[in-house]
């Protein structure tokens, strides 16, 4: 089964990974020298088509560029644990918005996160919208789709990971205060409800971002970025 990815940056990033799309569709009145060069270097078939055809293929701003690729593949958790170099993983608990997942993948790529775990149920999966928002990070950041998030956390803890939930609570510490010199899983929750109770019970640390204004929380992808970049900052200082 194949899917479509779209947008200049998304398709260029995909081609630069060395992965080979089945076909690249380009607006026949556009000018895309980099994409044409990359596609030809990999012997990828190019089709120059009218804009209305591209409009029918995808639901989003395609910028005159659409690529047909194989369906997104998920990594197994044990493989992620084995391959992890930076010992930093993000878990998205019941995250439903594809734009937030795409933004989190983009931040994960920028901060060297080893992989992102999403749920198989009540959670957004890897879609063309996620790919577009991630601007190619969907091709570089491994994603695990866990059937049971609690069991996944137990496996990670058995492998030596500490679990930190970005969640308010009586015992929550500021995001700049928890220790970072051990393998970490950062858990972020759904847009409306936060981290679920059963997942929170498996977490070792709760952390919060102090808010100085009238709103009491940040968008989940923004909060994830704030915490991840601070983890990287503090690890570099040690």
Give the pLDDT band of residue 201 (cuts 50, 70, 90). very high
Is the pLDDT confidence value at 186 over 90?
yes
Distance CA 169, CA 167 (A): 6
CATH label, 77-237, candidates 3.30.230.70, 3.60.40.10, 3.40.1280.10, 1.10.10.60: 3.40.1280.10
Contact in structure between 104 and 188 (CB atoms under 8 Å)? yes
Closest to 21 (Cα-Cα) out of 64, 72, 62: 72
Mean pLDDT for 23-31 is 87
Q: What mean pLDDT, rounded, does the chain reach?
A: 92
Per-residue model confidence (pLDDT) at position 160: 97
Domain residue ranges in the chain: 2-70, 77-237
117-176 tens-digit pLDDT: 999 988 999 988 898 899 889 989 999 999 999 999 999 999 999 999 998 877 899 999
State the pLDDT at residue 72.
83
Burial string for 19-29 (b: 16+ CB within 10 Å, else e) reads: eebeebbbbee
Q: Is the pLDDT of residue 73 over 90?
A: no
Confidence (pLDDT) at 118: 97
- pLDDT in the model for residue 10: 87
- pLDDT beyond 90 at 214: no
CATH code of the domain occupying 2-70: 3.30.1330.30
Residue 136 vs residue 48, higher pLDDT: 48
- pLDDT higher than 80, residue 113: yes
pLDDT > 80? residue 196 = yes
What is the pairing mode between strands 2-6 and 65-70? antiparallel
CA angle 168, 176, 214 (to 5 degrees): 50
- Strand (E) positions, 7-153? 23-27, 45-49, 65-70, 88-92, 115-119, 143-146
Give residue 235's region: left, alpha or beta (phi > 0; psi -120 to 50): alpha
Helices H / strands E in the chain, number of each? 9, 11
pLDDT at residue 1 tops 70: no
Pairing assessment for the beta strands 23-27 and 45-49 based on DSSP bridges: parallel
Q: In this predicted structure, what is the pLDDT of residue 192?
A: 80
- Contact indicator for 116, 93 with CB cutoff of 8 Å: no
3-state secondary structure 169-207: CCCCEECCCCCCCCCEEEEECECCCECCHHHHCCCCEEE
| CB 147, CB 189: distance < 8 Å | no
Rounded Cα–Cα distance for residues 145 and 72 (Å): 11
Cut 0.85: pTM above it: no
Q: What is the mean predicted confidence (pLDDT) over 40-46?
A: 92
Per-residue confidence (pLDDT) for residue 148, from 0 to 100: 96
pLDDT at 2: 77
């Amino acid at each position: 089964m194949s899917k479509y990815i779209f947008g200049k940056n998304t398709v260029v990033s995909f081609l630069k990974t060395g992965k080979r799309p089945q076909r690249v569709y380009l607006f026949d009145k556009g000018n895309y020298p980099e994409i044409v060069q990359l596609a030809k270097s990999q012997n990828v078939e190019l089709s120059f088509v009218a804009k209305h055809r591209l409009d029918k293929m995808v639901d989003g701003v395609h910028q005159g560029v659409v690529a047909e690729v194989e369906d997104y593949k998920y990594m197994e958790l044990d493989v992620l644990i084995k391959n992890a170099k930076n010992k930093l993983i993000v878990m998205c608990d019941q995250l439903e918005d594809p734009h937030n997942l795409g933004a989190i993948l983009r931040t994960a790529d920028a901060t060297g996160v080893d992989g992102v775990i999403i749920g198989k149920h009540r959670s957004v999966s890897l879609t063309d919208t996620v790919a577009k928002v991630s601007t190619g990070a969907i091709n570089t950041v491994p994603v695990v789709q866990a059937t049971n998030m609690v069991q996944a956390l137990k496996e990670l803890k058995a492998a030596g990971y500490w679990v930190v939930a970005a969640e308010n609570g009586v015992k929550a510490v500021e995001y700049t205060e928890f220790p970072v010199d051990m393998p970490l899983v950062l858990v972020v929750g759904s847009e409306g409800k936060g981290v679920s109770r059963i997942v929170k019970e498996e977490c070792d640390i709760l952390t919060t971002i102090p808010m100085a204004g009238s709103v009491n929380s940040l968008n989940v992808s923004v909060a994830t970025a704030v915490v991840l970049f601070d983890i990287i900052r503090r690890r570099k200082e040690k």
